[in-house]
């Protein structure tokens, strides 16, 4: 029915996270002779800036309001109210497939997509056991999720329909030029050390400042490392400074006496050049659907210490491609960090094995190839 399949990707646009980075990798990788991606944002904010930087075209939606989680009655009422303008817009654009990537977009676009005769892909990128999803996701012709962990906690009716498709990553043939990345990072963290920063250890945190990423646990780890590490050590924290957690993070930095060691870097896109400059990345988050930062670090040759929890277990083989530490034990995380900082041979063995493993399992090519099968299969069933 469709010679070139027009695939519609709606995003809120008010933030940039792993789901957006993964979706952009898919969109960039699609064969334009077979697929035409159409990107629409509700808010021309941080995501729009990234799209412009990457020369990815998009439009801004003025016809449809974003539906957020609420009482089930309000959710259903808002979904019905949005369905008609959504249907009109999708028909006007000639869309064949609607591919949503977060809860707000599932609710906003799903019902209208069905009314418009589009095929609807619900991509579940977080761990969520809400029973409502079992009902709402019946609108979808295809349910995707990013890990076995995410699938395992889905409500039963949704879980039986879901396919696991790991997030895509741009594979590098070899880790980045780490010396150059490190020099750049040291120059920003401690200008007085520029040119003489070889002795400083850099232990990083990557994640938006929110409770689920557990930045306060990272600070506990940092305090334990700083207390006994033989040389100077700095702790850059990369991520969006979300107001609800920022004050708590700053208070804890002060309480632990880490003002001269912890640097709040804000969000950096792309993040991998900054990860590459770190000696170790610590990922204390729990309930992670996948844990994108782990793969990003492993891809560029930076060893990872992560909480032994949720989606992290599908990425790291502890002791071989990184370390999984007890999720509620900052001392256990600090112990593995100290091992990596003190043993160059161990760090090199871990990063070498990690790079090979993630290139094999999480390449963008594998992800795009599967999606390039899914879209035509859905359309041919119309």
Tens of pLDDT, residue by residue over 156-204, are 999 999 999 999 998 765 566 788 889 899 999 987 765 555 689 999 9
Give the chain's residues under pLDDT 70.
1-2, 172-176, 193-198
So what's the pLDDT on residue 177? 73
CATH number of 5-168+363-380: 3.40.50.2000
Contact criterion met (CB below 8 Å) for 86 and 116: yes
Contact criterion met (CB below 8 Å) for 215 and 209: yes
So what's the pLDDT on residue 12? 98
Q: How many Cβ atoms are within 10 Å of 134's Cβ, its own excluded?
A: 17
Measure the CA–CA gap between 208 and 202, rounded to whole angstroms: 19
Measure the CA–CA gap between 356 and 361, rounded to whole angstroms: 9
CA dihedral 301, 341, 231, 281 (to 10 degrees): 50
Tell the residue number behind the tokens 């609800």, with chain if given: 244
In the chain, where does the domain assigned CATH 3.40.50.2000 lie? 5-168+363-380, 178-361
Measure the CA–CA gap between 22 and 166, rounded to whole angstroms: 10
Instruction: Tell me if the bond preceding 270 is cis, omega within 30° of 0.
Output: yes
Give the list of residues 6+ apart from residue 9 with CB closer than 8 angstroms, or none: 23, 27, 37, 38, 39, 40, 99, 100, 101
Top-level CATH class of 178-361? alpha beta
Rounded to two decimals, the pTM is 0.84
Measure the CA–CA gap between 210 and 245, rounded to whole angstroms: 6
User: Residue 327: CA atoms inside 13 Å, Cβ hemisphere, count?
Assistant: 13
Measure the CA–CA gap between 288 and 150, rounded to whole angstroms: 8
């Amino acid at each position: 029915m469709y010679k070139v399949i027009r695939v519609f990707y709606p995003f809120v646009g008010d933030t940039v996270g792993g789901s957006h980075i993964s979706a952009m990798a898919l969109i960039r990788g699609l064969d334009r002779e077979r697929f035409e991606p159409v990107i629409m944002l509700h808010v021309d904010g941080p995501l729009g800036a990234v799209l412009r930087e990457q020369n990815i075209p998009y439009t801004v939606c003025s016809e449809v309001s974003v539906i957020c989680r609420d009482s089930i009655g309000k959710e259903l009422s808002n979904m019905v109210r949005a369905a008609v303008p959504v249907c009109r817009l999708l028909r006007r654009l000639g869309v064949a497939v609607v591919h949503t990537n977060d809860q707000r977009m599932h609710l906003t676009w799903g019902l209208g997509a069905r009314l418009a005769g589009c095929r609807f892909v619900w991509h579940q990128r977080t761990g969520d056991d809400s029973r409502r999803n079992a009902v709402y996701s019946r609108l979808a012709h295809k349910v995707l999720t990013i890990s076995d962990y995410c699938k395992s906690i889905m409500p039963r009716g949704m879980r039986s329909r879901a396919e696991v498709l790991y997030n895509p990553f741009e594979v590098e043939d070899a880790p980045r030029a780490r010396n150059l990345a490190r020099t750049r990072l040291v120059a920003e963290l401690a200008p007085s050390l520029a040119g003489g920063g070889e002795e400083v250890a850099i232990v990083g945190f990557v994640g938006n400042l929110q409770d689920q990423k557990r930045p306060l646990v990272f600070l506990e780890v940092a305090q334990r490392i700083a207390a006994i590490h033989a040389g100077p050590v700095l702790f850059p924290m990369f991520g969006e400074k979300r107001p609800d957690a920022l004050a708590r993070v700053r208070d804890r930095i002060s309480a632990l006496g880490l003002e001269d060691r912890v640097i709040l870097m804000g969000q950096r896109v792309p993040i991998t050049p900054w990860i590459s400059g770190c000696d170790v990345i610590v990922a204390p988050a729990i309930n992670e659907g996948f844990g994108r930062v782990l793969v990003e670090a492993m891809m560029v040759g930076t060893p990872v210490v992560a909480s032994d929890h949720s989606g992290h277990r599908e990425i790291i083989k502890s002791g071989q491609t990184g370390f999984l530490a007890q999720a509620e034990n900052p001392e256990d995380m600090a112990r593995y960090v100290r091992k990596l900082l003190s043993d160059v041979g161990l760090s090199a063995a871990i990063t070498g094995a990690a790079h090979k493993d993630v290139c094999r399992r999480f390449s963008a090519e594998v992800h795009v190839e599967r999606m390039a099968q899914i879209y035509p299969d859905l359309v041919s069933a119309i």
